[in-house]
């Protein structure tokens, strides 16, 4: 009989897989989350396919574990095997994205397979709209065109409502970034219109906000995001607590703990903490040294970073201040590099902030890569709340 491996220290019983069983059905029958079941059985490759006769560990649900909401952003091109492995760790799947037209129109995107997979796994699919322009970047001008014309907004909200119903979405996530400071109040009014129209139809409204440390923080990314006004309106706020280390910036941790704390210190004074989903990066960066602003860093997954360190025989160090790992290596051309990424220790340090600040949960950007340290730490620390059933 095949037996899955077990995690040390988990109180458990055993269950033999029967015809038609899935991770989702077994977890539901035993009153635990799929994520906890996967944590106890790390050899499971596909949560939807289990060999009949396999022996699973059924862990006991921790009575004192906090239940939190978990959002994951996904691009439509996510590999189906990665999607299936990831869904047990999520409450919401935010599909990125519908790029809004200047006339309030919405494009066609291949989101159908993701929506179906989410529903089949008991995960709520969330429609994301963005002000991404034709050049592929967030457009201040496009946001201004929409926010300065109430008829365009009505058209957009009508199109959104129709799409939510036709596609069987659970909620809307408005991710408008780099809004002109002069459009600050207009953005709040637009969100108010969206909430007023969609909430009576049964749809929650999310929004994503830049990582501010105070109400008057300067900069195009920050000024139009009014934490207090927006937090009062919407159901959930996703704080983008990452990108301190970024593609064209100097080498540093992507999500340093002190900077994340500064954002949360302010955020919980302006937004009800239970509405806040703290952003969690699912990537790191590889910089060529010496740092040159015009030379971009390369994105790496956590697994790629660890593999690179092993292959280069590089010593992984841990920065106690930022609570993040990093290492140096020399490539085949003789160029020196530094890589900042995340491991279980750094993920655990940030996840602990959810309990400390009383937050509603977290949001991964993105889940197109499978995050072993992220998901294992999540499932070991918290129970994952589900808002829809299979």
Q: What is the pLDDT of residue 18?
A: 94
**Whether pLDDT at 214 is above 90:** yes
Question: Counting Cβ atoms within 10 Å, is residue 313 exposed (0-12), middle (13-18) or buried (19+)?
Answer: exposed
pLDDT at 10 over 60: no
pLDDT of residue 13: 85
Share of the chain above pLDDT 70, in %: 96
What average pLDDT does this structure show over 69-96? 97
d(CA 157, CA 194): 6
Q: How confident is the model at residue 4 (pLDDT cuts 50, 70, 90)?
A: very low
pLDDT tens for each residue of 294-313? 999 999 999 999 999 999 99
Residue 45: CB atoms within 10 Å: 10
Would you say residue 135 has pLDDT above 50? yes
Beta-bridge mates of residue 319 = 324
> Looking at residues 15-22, what average pLDDT do you find?
92
| % of the chain at pLDDT higher than 90 | 85
Residue 51 has pLDDT above 60, yes or no: yes
Which domains, and CATH codes, for the chain? 12-59 (3.10.350.10), 67-283+343-384 (3.20.20.80), 287-339 (3.10.50.10)
Q: What is the pLDDT of residue 320?
A: 98
pLDDT, tens only, 326-371: 999 999 999 999 999 999 999 999 999 999 999 999 999 999 999 9
Provide the pLDDT for residue 6.
Answer: 43
- pLDDT value of position 39: 84
Q: What is the reported pLDDT for 390? A: 81
Query: Would the pLDDT of 119 be above 70?
Result: yes
Nearest to 109 by CA among 167, 156, 162: 167
Contact 209, 176 (CB under 8 A): no
Q: Please give the average per-residue pLDDT across 258-269, as a whole number.
A: 98
Model confidence at 62, pLDDT cuts 50, 70, 90, reads: low
Q: In the predicted model, what is the mean pLDDT of residues 251-262?
A: 98
Question: Is-contact 191 185, C-beta < 8 A?
Answer: no
Write down the mean pLDDT value for the chain.
94
pLDDT in tens, 137-153: 999 999 999 999 999 99
Distance CA 21, CA 53 (A): 10
The catalytic position among 55, 67, 177, 356 is 177
How confident is the model at residue 11, as a pLDDT? 53
pLDDT at position 63 is 63
User: Which pLDDT belongs to residue 116?
Assistant: 98
Q: Give the pLDDT confidence score for residue 275 in this predicted structure.
A: 98
> Tokens 């340290």 sit at which residue?
373
pLDDT of residue 125: 98
Q: Is 177 known to be catalytic?
A: yes
Q: How many CA atoms lie within 13 A of 211 on its CB side?
A: 21
Neighbours of 278 (CB within 10 A): 27
Confidence of residue 32 (pLDDT cuts 50, 70, 90): confident
For 154-168, the pLDDT digits (tens) are: 999 999 999 999 999
- Distance, in Å, from the CA atom of 236 to the CA atom of 171, rounded to the nearest integer, reads 10
Quickly state the pLDDT bin for 67 (edges 50, 70, 90): very high
pLDDT at residue number 7: 44
pLDDT above 90: residue 31: no
- pLDDT at residue 220, rounded to an integer: 98
- Segment 217-245 mean pLDDT: 98
């Amino acid at each position: 009989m095949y037996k899955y491996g077990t995690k040390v220290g988990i109180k458990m019983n055993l269950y033999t897989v029967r015809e038609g069983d899935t991770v989702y059905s077994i977890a539901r029958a035993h009153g635990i989350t799929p994520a906890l079941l996967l944590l106890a059985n790390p050899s499971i490759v596909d949560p939807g396919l289990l060999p009949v006769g396999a022996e699973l560990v059924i862990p006991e649900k921790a009575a004192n574990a906090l239940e939190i909401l978990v959002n994951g952003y996904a691009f439509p091109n996510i590999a189906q095997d990665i999607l299936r492995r990831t869904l047990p760790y999520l409450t919401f799947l935010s599909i990125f994205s519908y790029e809004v037209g200047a006339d309030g129109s919405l494009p066609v995107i291949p989101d159908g397979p993701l929506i179906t997979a989410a529903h089949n796994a008991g995960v709520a699919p969330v429609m994301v709209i963005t002000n991404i322009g034709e050049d592929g970047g967030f457009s201040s001008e496009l946001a201004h065109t929409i926010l300065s014309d109430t008829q365009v907004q009505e058209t957009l909200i009508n199109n959104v409502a129709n799409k939510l119903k036709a596609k069987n979405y659970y909620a809307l996530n408005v991710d408008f970034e780099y809004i002109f400071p002069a459009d600050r109040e207009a953005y709040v009014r637009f969100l108010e219109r969206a909430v007023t129209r969609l909430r009576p139809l049964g749809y929650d409204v999310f929004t994503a906000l830049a990582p501010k440390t105070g109400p008057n923080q300067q900069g195009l990314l920050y000024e139009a995001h009014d934490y207090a006004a927006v937090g009062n309106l919407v159901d959930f706020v996703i704080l983008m607590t990452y990108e301190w280390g970024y593609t064209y910036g100097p080498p540093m941790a992507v999500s340093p703990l002190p900077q994340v704390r500064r954002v949360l210190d302010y955020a919980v004074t302006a937004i009800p903490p239970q509405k806040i989903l703290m952003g969690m990066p699912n990537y790191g960066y590889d910089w060529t040294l010496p740092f040159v602003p015009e030379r971009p860093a390369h994105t790496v997954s956590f697994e790629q970073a660890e593999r690179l360190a092993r292959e280069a025989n590089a010593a992984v160090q841990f920065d106690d201040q930022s609570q993040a790992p990093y290492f140096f290596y020399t490539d085949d051309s003789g160029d020196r590099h530094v890589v900042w990424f995340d491991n279980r220790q750094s993920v655990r340090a940030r996840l602990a902030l959810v309990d400390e600040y009383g937050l509603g949960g977290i949001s991964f950007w993105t889940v197109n890569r499978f995050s072993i340290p992220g998901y294992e730490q999540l499932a070991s620390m918290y129970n994952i709340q589900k808002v829809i059933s299979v």
